[in-house]
Amino acid sequence: MATQSLEEHAGGVTSQTFADLDRVVLPAARLDDLFDALHAEGYPVLGPTVRDDVIVIAPVTSCDDLPRGWGDIQDAGVYRLVPREDDAYFAYAAPAGTWKRHLFPPQSVLWRARVVRGAPVIEENQDRPGRRALLGIRGCDLAAIAVQDRVLLHGAHPDPVYTARRADLLLVGVTCGTPASTCFCTSMGTGPSVGGGADIAMTELDADDRARHRFLLEARTPAGQVVVARVSAQPVTTADDAAADAVVRHAGSLITRSVDNDGLPEALRAGAEHPQWDDVAERCLACGSCTMVCPTCFCTDVRDEPNVLAGVDERVRVWASCFELGHSYLHGGAVRPSPRARYRQWATHKFATWWDQFGTSGCVGCGRCIAWCPVGIDVTEEIRAVATSTTDG
């Protein structure tokens, strides 16, 4: 039994639901039309771009800023860009950068307080970035936004910073055609196609043939429809649809890593003393890289940063990691002092207790943690080891 995908959890939104909204084909040579349409509707664009030999998410103004002609190789502890022979714009897997840092910034000032006539007066940070378009989000990262929505938006206390940055977004997803060896979106039900939550879904077709290189654009929401309507494009043919389906099928067939979600949460919860945690503890540096690149990790430190001379006390929130020794600090010491306990906490939270807390898995299968671990720990193998012998027992 496959575990419910995030789409199903979010209410079963798939591309079939939007068959009656605009679907068009845009030649690759006219990709800037999409930028123009987004700009005309008041959306500055954030998207993938090459910087310092990796692909990050940053402001992009035209298709020239996109990683045209770049692909990647990712494996445990490996990330490398490789030039392609074609002009594909999206022929890589999970970028090094995350969309998370634009919705959930590494550092935020929540409020500033001054003392006025003996009492503190607090001024909340009301910054609101306004409309933005996120262009080129893969299914896994789109699912990650949905996961973070559950944590930061749909709880009893919506987070003010995330709420402000989440509103007014236009999400332009892109079908993944070239997964890396680190990817396992198919196991987590998050890809390779673009799932629920996107305003527009794009599929890149025939990048290796300049004459036929094109994008299938599909508006999924009224907001997406407004943008797609501005793009002068061609109608979608059955051949286009067949080609798009083939991209998804082919991408799915390239995925090598997997997670068996069946019974996994129970196995992890029951496996707190499994010897595999001792095994991984001998390799894990507790550096926290995995949590920094993970698109769903949300832990933060919330603290005051007073500047007494200036008379200001700022409440700041900064990214934190459960791998930090001080993360679980209580009464003069850490509840989880050993790296073993901290790795166990991260993996068990991501794949088991996240279900209890938020009704989904915390993992979307993007594979970043595997690529960016400096010692190449593969979380899919670690949890498989815990689950396998636990169920055998």
Partner 1 sequence: MSATPETVPSRAGRGSMTPVPHRVVDVVHETRETVTLALEPSSDAIAPPVAGQFTMLWAWGAGEVPISVSALVDGGRLVHTIRDVAGVTKTLCASKRGDVLGVRGPYGRGWDVEAARGHDLVIVAGGIGLAPLRPVVHTVLADRSAFGRVSLVVGSRTEQELLFRAELDGWWHRHEIDVRTIVDRSSPGWSGSVGVVTGELVGLSIDPTTTRAMVCGPEVMMRVVAQHLTDRGVAASAVEVSVERNMQCAVKTCGHCQVGPFFACTDGPVLTWDVVESLLTVREL
Partner 2 sequence: MVVTTMAEELAAHRFFRLIPAELRERLAGCARNVVFGPGERICVEGTHASGFFAVRSGRVNVGIYVPHQGLQVLETRHAGDVIGFSWLFPPYRWQIDAVAGDQVRAVELHADCLLPYLEEHPADGYLLVRMFAQEMEETIQSTRLRLLDVYGRDRVRHP
Q: Largest alpha-carbon pair distance within the chain?
A: 73
From partner 1, partner 2, none, interface partner of 168 (C-beta below 5 to 8 A by class):
partner 1
Asked whether position 278 contacts partner 1 by CB under 8 A, the answer is: no
User: Which residue from 82, 156, 157, 331 is in contact with partner 2, where contact means CB under 8 A?
Assistant: 331
Q: Which residues are bridge partners to 201 per DSSP?
A: 173, 218
From partner 1, partner 2, none, interface partner of 102 (C-beta below 5 to 8 A by class):
none
Residue for token digits 């029951």? 270
Scanning residues 190 to 219, which ones bind partner 1 (CB under 8 A)?
196-199
Asked whether position 306 contacts partner 1 by CB under 8 A, the answer is: yes
- Name the segment binding partner 2 (CB under 8 A); options: 56-64, 185-193, 328-336, 339-347: 328-336
When the beta carbons of 337 and 374 are compared against partner 2, the nearer one is 337
When the beta carbons of 83 and 118 are compared against partner 1, the nearer one is 118
User: Which residue from 51, 80, 154, 210 is in contact with partner 1, where contact means CB under 8 A?
Assistant: 154
Q: Quote the CA–CA distance of 323 and 345 in Å, as a whole number.
A: 9
User: Which residue from 171, 174, 219, 247 is in contact with partner 1, where contact means CB under 8 A?
Assistant: 171
Asked whether position 367 contacts partner 1 by CB under 8 A, the answer is: no
Asked whether position 356 contacts partner 1 by CB under 8 A, the answer is: yes
| Nearest-approach distance from CB 329 to partner 2, in angstroms | 10
Asked whether position 334 contacts partner 2 by CB under 8 A, the answer is: yes
Residue for token digits 């979600």? 261
Pairing type for strands 119-124 and 107-116 reads antiparallel
- Name the segment binding partner 2 (CB under 8 A); options: 2-10, 239-247, 263-271, 326-334: 326-334
User: Which residue from 337, 359, 374, 376 is in contact with partner 2, where contact means CB under 8 A?
Assistant: 337
Residues in Cβ contact with 249 at an 8 Å cutoff, skipping those fewer than 6 apart: none
From partner 2, partner 1, none, interface partner of 333 (C-beta below 5 to 8 A by class):
partner 2
Q: Is 216 within 8 Å of 173 (Cβ atoms)?
A: no
Q: Is 165 within 8 Å of 129 (Cβ atoms)?
A: yes
Q: Quote the CA–CA distance of 95 and 284 in Å, as a whole number.
A: 23
When the beta carbons of 2 and 122 are compared against partner 1, the nearer one is 122
Q: Is 218 within 8 Å of 201 (Cβ atoms)?
A: yes
| Nearest-approach distance from CB 70 to partner 1, in angstroms | 28
3-state secondary structure of 100: helix
Asked whether position 332 contacts partner 2 by CB under 8 A, the answer is: yes
Q: Quote the CA–CA distance of 13 and 226 in Å, as a whole number.
A: 20
Scanning residues 124 to 143, which ones bind partner 1 (CB under 8 A)?
124, 126, 128
Beta strands in the chain (DSSP E): 23-27, 45-51, 54-59, 70-75, 78-83, 107-116, 119-124, 132-137, 169-174, 200-205, 214-219, 234-235, 300-307, 312-319, 329-330, 333-334
Q: Which residues bind partner 2 (CB under 8 A)?
A: 331-334, 337
